[in-house]
Structure 1
Amino acid sequence: MPVIRTQSGASEKVLESAQFISEHSKDVTVPAAGVKRAAQKIMERMKSTGYSTAEWKKHQLTPSVANADAIEWIFVVDALNFSFWPSRAAEHEQYTVSLDGKSYRGYWSLCAAINRAQREHIEITRASYYAHASAEQLAHVFRTDDPAIQESIPMLEERIHVLHEVGQVLLAKYGGKFANVVRQCQGSAQMLVETVVREFPCFRDEHEFCGRPVYLYKRAQILVADIWACFEGRGDGLFNDMDQITMFADYRVPQALYHFGALDYSPRLLEYLRRSEIAVQQGDGSQTQPPPQPGLLPSGHPWELEIRGNSIWAVEQIRRHIHASGHSANAILIDFYMWDYAKEHTAAMRTIPIHLTRSKFY
């Protein structure tokens, strides 16, 4: 299959990059038979559950009303939507935030921290606040429940830098509102992704693979997708080219794709991932390359890019199979579904290792 040739939009660049990575991968593959079976299973389960954009607002932590305030909440959350997996040795528990009597970990701990701050009358979703907030103020916002036994939020310094960076851009160019960025793009998801990666450097999920640039843009695309889902494709969330957005290459969806048989790893990569989970649990954060020692896989390492790029390409193949069967589901809904599925079936996937990369990109 020839490489897709297009320079017209950010998401096309992502899809072209994913195809290039897939065609030049040595340790990750997208089995055609597995993709077909996965498409059938995912289509049947999405139909049986009535899975749709409405699922997004059903969670008690996400905004229940689609308005301008919701856009600012989404922007802050997705600007910080990276790297939540625990890194310390076993004597420390994972970063945890409790709200309304329930404890949250992972991505949901971030949402809980933002909502907790708002209840404490901290204007954490306003650029005028977070663009200049001190490290101490932001450390308070993202505090864990019990620092004596729980680790702090990972990459706190990077998160503070991200908030200062994006806040200052909004204040200087967009009246302090990300909603103004959205409206300036006039209903084009592609234009919004391109604007985000151009204006906010922390969203530039760009790397090099086999001697050429590749573009994955996980957080920029999920930012657009979350606005679309929150507004259920209406009002400020009405985008006329939403189906061009690809899946969001992180570390949890590849695990689900492997579970469904739509992704496969070479024996040496699988063994490395398994040994790495053990090493990180024991506190070994080695990042040597290549070949890497068990531990953290460096951002931009060929194995990391193979896993992420092939994940995008696998979801694209699943989407095409579903479309060919006479049904419709864009890559966003497939991604949302598989992420939810992976979180709900953690025990069933426990034996499938995930790659561990400390990165602000996912």
Structure 2
Amino acid sequence: MSVNPVRDSAKFISENSTQVSINTVGVVEAARKVSGLIIEQNYSKSIWQTHPLNPKPSKYGGSDEAAIDWLFVVDTLNFCFWNGDNEPVFCVEYKGSLFSGYWGLCAAVNRALDEGIPFTNPEYLSKVKKSDLEYIFRTSSPKADSPNPDSDGFTVNQSENSVPEKSEMKMLNERVCVLTELGQVTISRFGGKFINILKSCENSAVELTKILSKNFSSFNDSCEFKERTVNFFKRAQILCGELWACFEGLGYGHFDDINELTMFADYRVPQILVYLGILEYSPELTQFLEKQNKYIYSPKSGINKDLLLPSGSQWEVEIRGNSIHGVELLKKEILKLPNMKDIEINSVLLDFCLWDCAKANSQLMEHIPIHLTLSVYY
């Protein structure tokens, strides 16, 4: 069985961090809270199928290959949905409901497919243009009586009666590039079918992350830290995790080494790890992030790039690495608890659970700043 290099990278980062640390006492306390939540909600991989925007495999009346195609495309585009204070939110209206952030992406993809646009076809993607994406990801203005949508990165502070303006999807030029690469490489190396990429891993999630990172530059989520290459592979890992959840660990979703995957290092889960007392930021980092969240956006000038945390910078790497290692420690503590003996637990499920919890309780955590980075990796 292949060993996941992300786990070793995260441990190395944690051991060499100066601005982010893991509170071991906080990990133990959080284990009790999170395990209680898992039991209370009967949290399992089957919950993934309960969201109406997620694709349905044949078991639930859909198509296995169509579900695989959808996941490859959506997880290629699964990056950069955060918003700074008072920044308009990316919103998409679909079948009478308003979706924002990541779910706005999913809604837009489903809307395009409903309109007959072959958006999950590698041939189409290999030639996709910016004008195509501008149409597919066209936004919707929230109606006055709609609840204020929450972004996937930061809850926009709004007055009780205010309505957020609509916002264009971030990094549209980069999204054209990652999609054309996805289509072209799939055609040239994998017979023009995403399912062939999946079959080539021979039921190994770790191998699939390696195949993705070696063949598609936007999946090669790595950088240098303390003179060593460290790997995160966020989108490659989440694609594996979602394939596993979509097919409930069977058939196309069966991976012999699913427990080797780590959490998916983004900007949302670190926020709840701080809230739970697992992660601690230095005063210097906290002050920077608070300033960043508050002043990153202005209506007149847009994003202040001087306040962005560069992808691959020390602080950004420390946040992501400690998040991964912190969840690994959390998993170990949860597995020690007697009430979790017969419950399936791995880092994929913990990531799903923490992300869902963070979204559901965003107002409780809005005082905790997230790190804002423009990156195709997450």
TM value normalised by structure 1: 0.92
8 Å Cα contact 1:287/1:298 also seen in 2:
no
SS in structure 2 opposite 1:36? helix
Which residues of structure 1 form unaligned runs of 5+? Answer: 1-7, 289-294
Give the structure 2 partner of residue 141 of structure 1.
136
Within 5 Å, give how 1:273-292 maps onto structure 2.
Answer: 273-282=289-298, 285-287=303-305
The answer to whether structure 1 residue 299 and structure 2 residue 311 are counterparts is yes
Contact 1:78 / 1:223 at 8 angstroms: preserved in 2? Answer: yes
- 1:93 shift after superposition: 2.1
Q: Does 1:85 align with 2:78?
A: no
Q: Which moved more, 1:154-163 or 1:128-137?
A: 128-137
- CA–CA separation in structure 2 for the residues paired with 1:284 and 1:71: 36
Q: Percent identity?
A: 42
Give the alignment of 1:130-279 within 5 angstroms.
130-146=125-141, 149-279=165-295
Stretches of structure 2 lacking an aligned partner (at least 5 in a row): 59-63, 143-163
Q: Which amino acid aligns with 1:71?
A: I
Identify which of 56, 69, 76 aligns with 1:64: 56
Match of 2:321 among 309, 326, 330: 309
Structure 1: distance between partners of 2:230 and 2:189:
28
Residue range with higher mean Cα deviation, 172-181 or 74-83: 172-181
**What TM-score results when the alignment is normalised by the length of structure 2?**
0.88
Report what 1:353 is aligned to.
Answer: 369
Residue deviations 1:268-291 (CA, integer Å, cap 9, x gap): 111111111011133574555xxx
1:33 counterpart (25, 32, 35): 25
Contact 2:296 2:305 in 1 (8 A): no
Inter-partner Cα distance in structure 1 for 2:210 and 2:224: 19
Deviation at 1:199, TM superposition (A): 1.0
Q: Tell me the number of residue pairs that the alignment of Structure 1 and Structure 2 aligns.
A: 346
Amino acid at match of 1:86: N
Shift of 1:313: 0.3
Match of 1:292 in 2: none
What's the offset of the Cα at 1:222? 0.2
CA distance in 2, matches of 1:345, 1:216: 26
RMSD: 1.7
Counterpart among 73, 98, 101 of residue 93 in structure 2: 98
Rounded to whole Å, the distance in 1 between the matches of 2:297 and 2:132 is: 30
Cα shift readout 1:249-280 (whole Å, capped 9, x = no counterpart): 00000001111111111111111111110111
Q: State the Cα distance separating 1:47 from its structure 2 match.
A: 1.0
The C-alpha deviation readout for 1:65-109, integer Å capped at 9, x for no partner, is: 25111000000000000001135x84x621111101111111001
Aligned to 1:74: 71
What residue in structure 2 maps to residue 111 of structure 1? 106
Q: Is the counterpart of residue 333 in structure 1 residue 349 in structure 2?
A: yes
Report the secondary structure of 2:229's partner residue.
Answer: strand
Q: Does residue 16 of structure 1 match 2:8?
A: yes
Paired residue secondary structure (1:63): coil
